[in-house]
Amino acid sequence: MAAPFIRLVLPYCGGILLSEQVENLPGNTASLSCFALLTLTIGIHFLIKKQVPASTHLFGICLNLLLLFSGTHLAMLQDQRKHSDWFGHQLENSLLLVAEPEALPALGAKSARFTLKVKTQILKNGHPIPTTGRFLLYLPLKQAENIQPGNLYLLASEKLKPLTPSGNPGSFDFADYNKKKNIFHQIYLDTNQLIPFSPITSNPYKIWLTNAQKAALKAMDYNIPQPHNQLAKALLIGYREEVDKDLLTTYSQTGVVHVIAVSGMHLGLIFLILQRILIFPETRYPASKWIKFGLVLGFTWFFSAVAGSAGSIIRAASMFSFVLFAKIIRKPLDSLQSISLTAFLLLLIDPFWIWDAGFLLSFAALLSIVLYQVRIAKLILPKHPLMKVLWELISVTLAAQLLTLPLCIALFHQVPVYFLPANLLAVPLSSFALIGTLILWITELIGIPIPLIGRLTSTLINWMNLGIIQISKLPGAVIQDINWSQSQVVIAYLIIFLLSGWMKTRNPTLLLSLLSTCLLFGCSHFYQIIQHQKQQLLLVYHLPGKSITALISGNHSHFYLNQFSPSTHPAISASMRVLGIKEKHYSTQKLITHHQQSIGIPHFQQELPVLLKTKPQFLLLTKNIFNLAPLMENKTQPGLIILDGSIPETRATQWSRQLKQAGIPVHNTWEKGAFIHSLAP
């Protein structure tokens, strides 16, 4: 096999994915399993040397099981909650935390979000203990500049709160997203509640890296006029915090968002530029090739660090490092071998990268180009040099779509229709604009500004924006609200690989397998439709400061509104997609009966006693309810009390505690997320 590392990556990745299902498995069990399989594998290896019959197959089975369990075990070890020094274990006894901001903040409408790494925890008895872990810090937007990544800060830990999943069907799960980054808590403060430590305790590498990022951002602000400087920052170091949200959506819906997210394309361009400008007399002085190797490698990894060290960047930097090293030692490196080796090593370092969208899309695009670009390019053989370059770009774009399409549908639930013309426009313009931003960054650092480069870069970005906006306005520019299950994504990849195999070999067995897999995909889709038609659900969304309740019957959804209900919300659109809702209806009804179960929704305090007399199975309380006296004084035991997100969190937590003490069942969406209950008879 040309790329044997592929055989190692697949079972290892399967083990990482399996860790989600067995996260409560004791670590000792996984360790003993790995050790036993390793011993068995080594034993069978010696049997193979002695040519014992059937031992080869046993060796393969044991090796795959070893990789599977190793993936599971390493993913479980990556979870910091399983470490004895995680700060969350001592949070109830904690008084203060000493923490360090890791990077520049993510900017919101009103606040800035920092990720802080815990260094020391001071307990209530005054005893400091070294701890690990990370949490999110929210500061008012105007105070963000007062925080320097790399410096240490002291803060009170009493306001630290756990991240709770919203539970809204189909919505982005911010808590689960951060769980994959080992972040489980958040805190809201202002800079007056942060005490900076002496600069002696600072992290010089982190400060140097942050200053390099700030220098890049400053160079864009100084040389490129608004609003194009915002996109220039995204092109150069992936800083998208200031990019207009509508423009970002437009790039996403036309399939070219990758050009403003630093990826392998950007790093590849920088790599090629370095290879061309760093000319050494390698023939006369062979040692100079190692100097060039060190310079190219050093700048590649420096740029990767400045650009945020995202999964896609680390993938590209690692692969370029392997390619460059293979070139230096004059050893051929197979593309598939390089891809699989890079994936295996990176997932050994951090198994949680397997859930990173950029990491997955980066590998999928590269693998797709390696497997399919040459085949597509051979379909047409243009003679004109310009047409050759154009067809090369078209073939790369088409090839990259093949293996990224199922992932894009799974992650973003949409398919850009005009991705080809959009990429033909955006890729060349963004490449020249990237070169311009690099020149501006370097010239700013050495103190020799070149205004002409700034104007040219701004013009290129403007042309790119105008072109992408026009393409997005074409009819049917994007197919939205596609809902594929995980099994359908896997089946889609099977269809692609079986179709590829059949087109190459014309093997009838592969054709039969392909048709069977297509039938399986269709059956999966029809099963999903049938499940949607049978569903009977009560859904109370968790939306801070808002209140939305839905009664879902088959493909119909009845929304029950009050004064805290928004007219539209992304959570509604997401739930309609994932639950297959085709029609929606609105009502302000306060007592709903469905399949002999009643739901009471008092809009005002005085309506609460009246609804209690109807003995509803579910009682939803919103912000307009100010006290629980009618509920506590009610002689009849009420059904389940639901406290939704419109109630302030502090009040909801207090009421939840009171109701539990009174023996009344309660669901607080601030603590448990959205309430979803089947009403099927």
DSSP 104-124: PPEE-SSEEEEEEEEEEEEET
* 207 within domain boundaries: no
Alpha-carbon distance of 313 to 329, in angstroms, equals 24
* 400 within domain boundaries: yes
Core vs surface per residue 457-489: b (16+ CB within 10 A) or e: bbebbbebbebbeebbeeeebbeeeebbeeebe
Q: If pLDDT is split at 50, 70 and 90, which confidence band does 239 have?
A: confident
Quote the pLDDT of residue 27. Answer: 53
Query: Tokens at residue 380, please?
Result: 């047409």
Residue 80 burial (CB count, 10 A): 18
Alpha-carbon distance of 101 to 196, in angstroms, equals 11
Query: Tokens at residue 369, please?
Result: 């180009």
If you search the block for the tokens 């069977």, which residue do you land on? Answer: 516
Query: Tokens at residue 26, please?
Result: 């004791």
Q: Cis omega (within 30 of 0) on the bond before 508?
A: no
Asked whether residue 287 falls in the same domain as residue 239, the answer is yes
Strand stretches in 491-639, DSSP E: 536-540, 549-553, 556-560, 583-587, 591-594, 597-600, 618-621
Could you tell me which residues come within 8 angstroms of residue 13 by beta carbon, excluding any fewer than 6 positions away?
71, 343, 347, 354
* 152 within domain boundaries: yes
Q: Which residue has the higher pLDDT, 283 or 434?
A: 434
Asked whether residue 471 falls in the same domain as residue 505, the answer is no
Three-state DSSP at 390 gives helix
Q: Which residue has the higher pLDDT, 85 or 50?
A: 85
Q: 646 and 621 in contact (C-beta within 8 Å)? A: no
Could you tell me which residues come within 8 angstroms of residue 598 by beta carbon, excluding any fewer than 6 positions away?
591, 592, 614, 615, 616, 617, 618
If you search the block for the tokens 């392909």, which residue do you land on? Answer: 514
Report the chain's terminal Cα–Cα distance, integer Å.
Answer: 56
* 230 within domain boundaries: yes
- Model's pTM, two decimal places? 0.85
Q: What is the CATH number of the domain that holds 196?
A: 2.40.50
pLDDT in tens, 586-600: 999 888 888 888 999
Angle between helices 451-472 and 204-223 (to 10 degrees): 80
Does residue 3 register a pLDDT over 60? Answer: no
Could you tell me which residues come within 8 angstroms of residue 177 by beta carbon, excluding any fewer than 6 positions away?
none
- DSSP β-bridge partners for residue 668: 643
Asked whether residue 450 falls in the same domain as residue 522, the answer is no
* Residues of the domain holding 572: 536-678
Query: Tokens at residue 632, please?
Result: 């506590």
Does residue 10 register a pLDDT over 50? Answer: yes
Does residue 669 register a pLDDT over 90? Answer: yes
* 156 within domain boundaries: yes
Q: Tell me which of 166, 182, 202 is where a domain ends.
A: 202
Q: Tell me which of 202, 237, 265 is where a domain ends.
A: 202
Quote the pLDDT of residue 291. Answer: 78
CA distances from 355 to 229, 389, 460, 652 (A): 31, 35, 34, 33
Quote the pLDDT of residue 1. Answer: 45
Does residue 51 register a pLDDT over 70? Answer: no
If you search the block for the tokens 């897999």, which residue do you land on? Answer: 517
Quote the pLDDT of residue 620. Answer: 93
Asked whether residue 349 falls in the same domain as residue 239, the answer is yes
Q: What is the mean pLDDT of residues 364-376?
A: 89
Asked whether residue 320 falls in the same domain as residue 242, the answer is yes
Could you tell me which residues come within 8 angstroms of residue 499 by beta carbon, excluding any fewer than 6 positions away?
514
Q: If pLDDT is split at 50, 70 and 90, which confidence band does 208 have?
A: confident
Does residue 37 register a pLDDT over 80? Answer: no
pLDDT in tens, 316-369: 788 778 777 777 777 767 778 888 888 888 898 889 988 888 888 888 988 898
Asked whether residue 450 falls in the same domain as residue 599, the answer is no
Q: 576 and 570 in contact (C-beta within 8 Å)? A: no
Alpha-carbon distance of 631 to 639, in angstroms, equals 11
Asked whether residue 240 falls in the same domain as residue 368, the answer is yes
Q: Tell me which of 51, 78, 105 is where a domain ends.
A: 78
Does residue 287 register a pLDDT over 80? Answer: no
Asked whether residue 547 falls in the same domain as residue 647, the answer is yes
Does residue 47 register a pLDDT over 60? Answer: no
Quote the pLDDT of residue 538. Answer: 94
Alpha-carbon distance of 545 to 651, in angstroms, equals 12
Alpha-carbon distance of 388 to 126, in angstroms, equals 71
Range with the lowest mean pLDDT among 21-25, 267-271, 317-321? 21-25
Does residue 28 register a pLDDT over 70? Answer: no
- For 187, which DSSP code? E
* 265 within domain boundaries: yes
Asked whether residue 272 falls in the same domain as residue 372, the answer is yes
Could you tell me which residues come within 8 angstroms of residue 482 by beta carbon, excluding any fewer than 6 positions away?
409, 413, 414, 415
* 208 within domain boundaries: no
Core vs surface per residue 181-202: b (16+ CB within 10 A) or e: ebbbbbbebebeebeeeeeeeb
Q: If pLDDT is split at 50, 70 and 90, which confidence band does 50 have?
A: low
* 394 within domain boundaries: yes
- In 3D space, the residue among 123, 118, 85, 121 whose CA is nearest the CA of residue 99 turns out to be 118
Domain count, the chain: 5
Range with the lowest mean pLDDT among 49-58, 253-262, 379-388? 49-58
Alpha-carbon distance of 324 to 317, in angstroms, equals 10
CA distances from 476 to 28, 247, 307, 473 (A): 55, 18, 34, 8
Residue 521 burial (CB count, 10 A): 18
Alpha-carbon distance of 320 to 307, in angstroms, equals 16
Quote the pLDDT of residue 635. Answer: 67
Q: What is the mean pLDDT of residues 292-306?
A: 81
pLDDT in tens, 156-200: 988 899 999 999 999 988 999 999 899 999 999 888 888 888 777
Alpha-carbon distance of 252 to 243, in angstroms, equals 13
Q: 44 and 63 in contact (C-beta within 8 Å)? A: no
Q: What is the mean pLDDT of residues 675-680?
A: 90
Does residue 662 register a pLDDT over 90? Answer: no
Does residue 54 register a pLDDT over 60? Answer: no
Quote the pLDDT of residue 335. Answer: 79
Angle between helices 508-534 and 486-505 (to 10 degrees): 160
Residues shown for the chain:
681
Q: Which residue has the higher pLDDT, 337 or 470?
A: 470
For residues 473, 476, 480, 485, the Cα torsion angle rounded to the nearest 10 degrees is: -140
Does residue 435 register a pLDDT over 60? Answer: yes
Asked whether residue 397 falls in the same domain as residue 282, the answer is yes
Proportion of the chain above pLDDT 90, given as a percent: 34
* Residue 157: exposure state from Cβ atoms within 10 A (0-12, 13-18, ≥19): buried
Asked whether residue 509 falls in the same domain as residue 658, the answer is no
Asked whether residue 314 falls in the same domain as residue 440, the answer is yes
